[in-house]
Amino acid sequence: MGVFVDMQNDGAAKGFWVFTSFVRRNVDSVLMRRKPGQQLAKKLSAIDLIAIGVGATIGAGVYILVGTVAREQTGPALTISFFIAGIAAALSAFCYAELACRCPSAGSAYHYTYICIGEGAAWLVGWALILEYTIGGSAIARGLTPNLALFFGGEDNLPSYLARHTIPGLGVVVDPSAAVLVLVVTVLLCMGIKESSLAQAIVTTVNICGMLFIIIAGGYLAFKTGWIGYELPSGYFPLGLNGMLAGSAVVFFSFIGFDVVASTAEESGLHFYQIASYNVGEKSSTRFALGIGIALSICCILYMLVSVVIVGLVPYFALDPDTPISSAFASHGMQWAVNIITTGAVTALCASLMGSLLPQPRMFMAMARDGLLPSFFSDINEQTQVPVKSTIAIGFLAAALAFFMDVSQLAGMVSVGTLLAFTAVAVSVLILRYVPPDEVPLPSSLHESVDSMSLQSSGGDIQGVSSQNFKGSLNYSDSSQCLVDKAGISIAHPLLQKCIAQDEQNQLKRRKIAAWSITIICIGVLVLTSAASYEFLPSLLRFTLCAVGGAFVLCSLIVLACMAQDNARHSFGHTGGFVCPFVPFLPVACILVNTYLLVNLGPSTWIRVSIWLLAGELVYLFYGQTHSSLINAVYVPTAYADEIYRTSSGVGSTIGAGVYILVGTVAREHSGPALSISFLIAGIAAALSAFCYAELASRCPSAGSAYHYSYICVGEGVAWLIGWALILEYTIGGSAVARGISPNLAFFFGGQDSLPIFLARQYIPGLDIVVDPVAAILVFIVTGLLCVGIKESTLVQGMVTTVNVCAMLFVIIAGSYLGFKTGWAGYGLPTGFFAFGVDGMLAGSATVFFAYIGFDSVASTAEEVKNPQRDLPLGIGLALSICCTLYILVSVVIVGLVPYHAMNPDTPISSAFAEHGMQWAAYIITAGAVMALCSTLMGSILPQPRILMAMARDGLLPSFFSDVNKNTQVPVKSTLATGIGAAMLAFFMDVDQLAGMVSVGTLLAFTMVAISVLILRYVPPDMVPFPSSLQDTIDFVSLQYGVNSQNINVETSDVNGGTSSNLPLLGKKNTVVDYPKIVKQEAQGNYVLNEENRRKIAGSTIAFTCIGAFLLTYAATDLNIPRPVRFTLCGVGGALLLFGLIVLTLIEQDDARHSFGHSGGFICPFVPLLPIFCILINIYLLINLGAATWARVSVWLLIGVFVYAFYGRTHSSLLDAVYVPAAHADEIYRSSGDSLA
């Protein structure tokens, strides 16, 4: 599909909702985690979730329901009815469990419907649930009063301020006890989720103890009396199988309540591993599934055991329909048991009341986040971290209803919300499996990041953008462009991509068939259940409708069963949690059961519900639709949503710790099991630049690194731009890394909320700034350490790196053990080793290439190395080799432990270990990630002061930056300036949106270093500039070689005809230095003319090679260029590149290279092939950084040009320089007592 970004301002979906519209995952998850005051406390454990689920499910109904159902429908088979109803409820529980794990949100069924179906359907489900929880809570509260009255000896003995009263004239019976109970529960819920869950656990425990008493004592009596309830002539099924099934439909509503667990998803414990995001981890996902599953299982077992006992104590026809359990015990002389049973009923009602009031404020909060309700409801109290305003508003409403109205006549409406939610959740599972949303709405605040990502994907400029009309849609490319091909290869790497049109058409066709099949199933289920339930219809019509509905369901079910599920489901939401089994059969059965129950609620109930839903539709049309967060949403393909968020808000935490996350993303989307090969190829590509760095670092050991090499080989202006770009890289990179350390450190404190107030991130109201004290403190610590001395700082760097490497070795060793133990399941897949083909593996290599950036920092310490000719190449080579080896081994292990498609993209390593029961490994992995970030922070701050020092030495910056402390022998002033600047950025600014600019400096440096190697080999500088202060030394050396230094601006005679040659040199004094003996010897062999031509040809060839590399990569990357132009440019660029390579291979390298700089060091192999290939790769990556990144970088570089033009150029050390032949430079330096280094 094309790169299409849609910004809707009318709030409607142009009259309809489709499966792929109004996707909500990223909008909701980001807003609720980014906006202060909208984050719930994560404190609930699995035990808390089970208590909430059991308490909300087991109401007082079971204390009455067993008598009514046994008498009228099931007889002794009541236990089987509860069992079947439990299985039917489990169908919905399975669906809830998967969606709660994938999309943990306080909105529960409303949120799942929003994601998978659409805003309109989600609003109706949420509106129906509001009715359910409000009326349900009020009805439960009024039901508590008569049960409480039993402890006072009846309602007449209640205190007058608690007793019910009838208001004369109005005929209204007010219930103070009900209102008081609702307000007490409301206050408890406002205190905090942990406190309210504790109270829920206490009352639930009392309730369960009451039911256990019934089971144990009743079982004893039944064994004593011989289970007389089962010794009846009518048998076990006195009312037949139909009666037993009808009883199952009635008792099904006893299982409603487990869905409350899903509404606490955002409060379910801390994430056991956080690096790149604040997403709920796999441990929390497991809690959801456990909470729902265990709660439902406990309820079903208790219901069945109670029914077994009660039906066995008393024949079913003799059961009291109002008090069946109390009467059963009383018939055996145990009247005192009434108090215990009443206590159980009261606590059951209290637990149900809490279960009704707990989810509704969270539902309001979720709807307010989406703009469908006023933002008032989305506020979260900073102390208790619960939606206090929503809770109080709902509590007062429920208390007023409970006080004034007898809502029991409306109680039938309660079931509508639950059954609609159950149905929508089952439909959502089908959609998620077969037609998962392919577009995600992002907030308009991320428009810039979307632009950047779109341009990276399209490889060209924005086309067709209407910046003046935001009510339309924004098309960033024509419809022929492909964002992602079906092999999973992003066109962010167009040289490696193959867009297979046929596969796209097949995928689109599959999605259409699946969508229609799901729609037809829903229609067929509605027709079938309606025809089966409406007995007033003529028999012929009923049978016809049943046949049509059944055929629809059966045929569509067969189609879905035979169809492959969408691969995108693996990456949608949070992976690694519970997966619903038996899809599509289980969700379809769930839809069938719930629709049948909905149809059988009766016309009077549906009339009341229709009025409520109509009122909700009006609210949505006149408020929700016009305030929806989707109005200004920017729609992007789902595959790119996470990348956009990482670009906009999470890059800092991935720099340095990227390998802990990168393996999951690349394996899932590009490489598959071939991830290790991707790392190997990327390592080889990085080694190309490392070879070039190694030669230049050993020849020209200077603190300026790439800046210095460019200065020597290319020129001052280009070197200034390289140095200026590196300043930007190290400043932003260091600040981003520092802010990324904060959330990882918080993990060891139990989360951000547990950090001391002076360390925690604080939001500054009005300025919309989040300050990060931890980031600033860490930058200052590293700065102080770097000021102490290079030996001390490298010692600490070695220590933190050792911890990081140990963590990775733990992953390798422990993972290998698990791999051999489990048989390396990740490699035994039918897709083979290259799941996405060779193209996918190469695309993965381009992505992981940036994991190798950092070895260039070694070159910046050149002046502080004892033996740079030996140690610098060794340090660069070993650093890159160790990183490559560790990356490959980690990828081999992780891909072998878990199939690539099942990897968690956010926490792949932790999730892989958790899959094998090693959740505790998260602490080791998090420690490794923190150490990796600290090491990267030091690596970002270390080189920048040395680059500033080198630029100041050359006069391009104030001399302040070139001062070296006499005691520590490090540039302390530059280090302090760098540290203060980075700390200020890290403290005040979220620089992650600028983090894409970090790569520009590195790639420009890599490119220039490779060009410098070519220049050094073929056209090394033949003249060296010396400061005018060395004029006397130059004269002295010149005289030793027979130089007449007094001739200034003397015209030289022809080489072939004269006996001397004056070499005109650049400089302010235009000094001429004459070497007659040397020139005469060279002239006799016609060496001067040949050498001059060779240098001209070599210099021109290097220039044409660079131009060819740029044309080739640009034409191959920019898909917006017309095809004839693209092919022409590719042909011209390729021809220039090939021509340059051939010419440089045939030309002899300059002999002067042997005497340039420090000889005897590392020599880059395979010149010119290796540097040219390095140039090609780096230019390709530079072009693919996107227009938005280049726009920002261009502004920075333009500022640099002005600084250079108005300061650097006028203060440059070259202004008074005297140029002499490079062959005599060392002699001049030795004579002056200086060192070349």
* Start-to-end C-alpha separation, the chain: 57
Q: Give the model's confidence band at 961: pLDDT under 50 very low, under 70 low, under 90 confident, else very high.
A: confident
Q: Give the model's confidence band at 603: pLDDT under 50 very low, under 70 low, under 90 confident, else very high.
A: confident
Which pLDDT does position 409 carry in this prediction? 58
- If you average pLDDT over residues 270-288, what whole number do you get? 41
User: Is the model's pLDDT at 194 over the cut of 70?
Assistant: yes
Which pLDDT does position 1065 carry in this prediction? 34
Q: Which residues contact 665 (CB under 8 A, 6 or more apart)?
A: 642, 847, 905, 908
Q: Which amino acid is at 1102?
A: I
Q: Which amino acid is at 209?
A: C
Which pLDDT does position 658 carry in this prediction? 59
Q: Give the model's confidence band at 751: pLDDT under 50 very low, under 70 low, under 90 confident, else very high.
A: low
User: Is the model's pLDDT at 1082 over the cut of 50?
Assistant: no
Q: Give the model's confidence band at 38: pLDDT under 50 very low, under 70 low, under 90 confident, else very high.
A: low
User: Is the model's pLDDT at 1172 over the cut of 90?
Assistant: yes
Q: Give the model's confidence band at 994: pLDDT under 50 very low, under 70 low, under 90 confident, else very high.
A: low
Which pLDDT does position 1061 carry in this prediction? 36
Which pLDDT does position 1057 carry in this prediction? 38
Strands (E), 946-1092: 1023-1026, 1062-1064, 1072-1074
The more confidently predicted of residues 28 and 740 is 740
Which pLDDT does position 620 carry in this prediction? 86
Report in angstroms the alpha-carbon separations of 617 from 120, 124, 126, 380, 631. Answer: 9, 8, 11, 27, 18
| pLDDT tens by residue, 728-749 | 878 877 787 787 777 777 766 6
* Of 1222, 1231, 1211, 1226, residue with least CA distance to 1065: 1222
| pLDDT tens by residue, 697-715 | 777 777 777 887 888 888 8
Three-state DSSP at 1071 gives: coil
Give me the phi and psi of 172, to 5 degrees please. Answer: -100, 130
Q: Give the model's confidence band at 882: pLDDT under 50 very low, under 70 low, under 90 confident, else very high.
A: confident
- If you average pLDDT over residues 846-859, what whole number do you get? 71
- If you average pLDDT over residues 929-934, what whole number do you get? 80
Which pLDDT does position 447 carry in this prediction? 57
User: Is the model's pLDDT at 525 over the cut of 90?
Assistant: yes
The more confidently predicted of residues 82 and 1152 is 82
Read off the tokens for 621. 């049309």
The more confidently predicted of residues 284 and 138 is 138
Read off the tokens for 381. 């109290």
Three-state DSSP at 770 gives: strand
Which pLDDT does position 516 carry in this prediction? 92
- If you average pLDDT over residues 414-422, what whole number do you get? 80
User: Is the model's pLDDT at 292 over the cut of 80?
Assistant: no
User: Is the model's pLDDT at 2 over the cut of 80?
Assistant: no
The more confidently predicted of residues 657 and 1130 is 1130
What does the DSSP 8-state code read for residue 484? Answer: B
Give Cα 329 to chain centroid, integer Å: 58
As a dihedral over the C-alpha atoms of residue 532, residue 536, residue 541, residue 547, rounded to 10 degrees, the angle is 0
**Strongest mean pLDDT among 213-222, 900-909, 1184-1193:** 213-222
User: Is the model's pLDDT at 412 over the cut of 80?
Assistant: no
| pLDDT tens by residue, 1063-1076 | 333 333 334 344 33
The more confidently predicted of residues 1049 and 436 is 436
Max CA separation in the chain (angstroms): 139
Which pLDDT does position 446 carry in this prediction? 57
User: Is the model's pLDDT at 464 over the cut of 60?
Assistant: no
- If you average pLDDT over residues 1039-1062, what whole number do you get? 40
Burial of 954 (0-12, 13-18, 19+ CB in 10 A): buried
Q: Which residues on neighbouring strands pair with residue 165, listed in sequence order?
A: 174
Which pLDDT does position 1102 carry in this prediction? 93
The more confidently predicted of residues 278 and 172 is 172
Which pLDDT does position 62 carry in this prediction? 72
- If you average pLDDT over residues 819-831, what whole number do you get? 85
* Of 29, 25, 22, 21, residue with least CA distance to 649: 29
Which pLDDT does position 610 carry in this prediction? 87
Contact in structure between 299 and 57 (CB atoms under 8 Å): yes
Buried b (16+ CB within 10 A) or exposed e, 734-752: bbbbbbbbbbbbbbeeebb
Which pLDDT does position 465 carry in this prediction? 36
Which pLDDT does position 493 carry in this prediction? 42
- If you average pLDDT over residues 79-88, what whole number do you get? 88
Which pLDDT does position 655 carry in this prediction? 46
User: Is the model's pLDDT at 646 over the cut of 50?
Assistant: no
Q: How large a percentage of the chain has pLDDT more than 90?
A: 7
Give me the phi and psi of 477, to 5 degrees please. Answer: -165, 170
Q: How large a percentage of the chain has pLDDT more than 70?
A: 76
| pLDDT tens by residue, 1130-1169 | 999 999 999 989 999 888 887 777 666 676 678 888 889 9
* Of 279, 649, 662, 656, residue with least CA distance to 449: 649
Which pLDDT does position 1056 carry in this prediction? 38
Which pLDDT does position 522 carry in this prediction? 93
Which pLDDT does position 3 carry in this prediction? 35
Which pLDDT does position 988 carry in this prediction? 79
pTM of the model: 0.56
- If you average pLDDT over residues 669-688, what whole number do you get? 86
Segments in 21-169 forming alpha helices (H): 25-34, 46-57, 62-69, 78-102, 109-116, 119-149
The more confidently predicted of residues 430 and 338 is 430
User: Is the model's pLDDT at 501 over the cut of 80?
Assistant: no
Which pLDDT does position 952 carry in this prediction? 87
The more confidently predicted of residues 990 and 351 is 351
- If you average pLDDT over residues 367-377, what whole number do you get? 85
Give Cα 1202 to chain centroid, integer Å: 39
- If you average pLDDT over residues 959-972, what whole number do you get? 86
Beta strand 1218-1221 with 1072-1074 is unpaired
The more confidently predicted of residues 1120 and 1088 is 1120
* Of 302, 296, 214, residue with least CA distance to 259: 296
* Domains of the chain and CATH, by start: 38-437+570-581 (1.20.1740.10), 671-992 (1.20.1740.10), 1023-1232 (no CATH)
Quote the CA–CA distance of 411 and 256 in Å, as a whole number: 14
Which pLDDT does position 991 carry in this prediction? 57
Report in angstroms the alpha-carbon separations of 821 from 815, 817, 896, 915. Answer: 10, 6, 11, 13
What's the mean pLDDT when you consider all of the chain?
76
Quote the CA–CA distance of 875 and 500 in Å, as a whole number: 44
Q: Which amino acid is at 479?
A: S
| pLDDT tens by residue, 1023-1044 | 777 777 777 777 776 666 554 3
Query: Out of 35-39, 74-78, 478-482, 1156-1160, which region has the weakest mean confidence (pLDDT)?
Result: 478-482
**CA angle centred on 671, ends 669 and 672, rounded to 5°:** 85
Which pLDDT does position 521 carry in this prediction? 93
The more confidently predicted of residues 409 and 69 is 69
Which pLDDT does position 766 carry in this prediction? 66
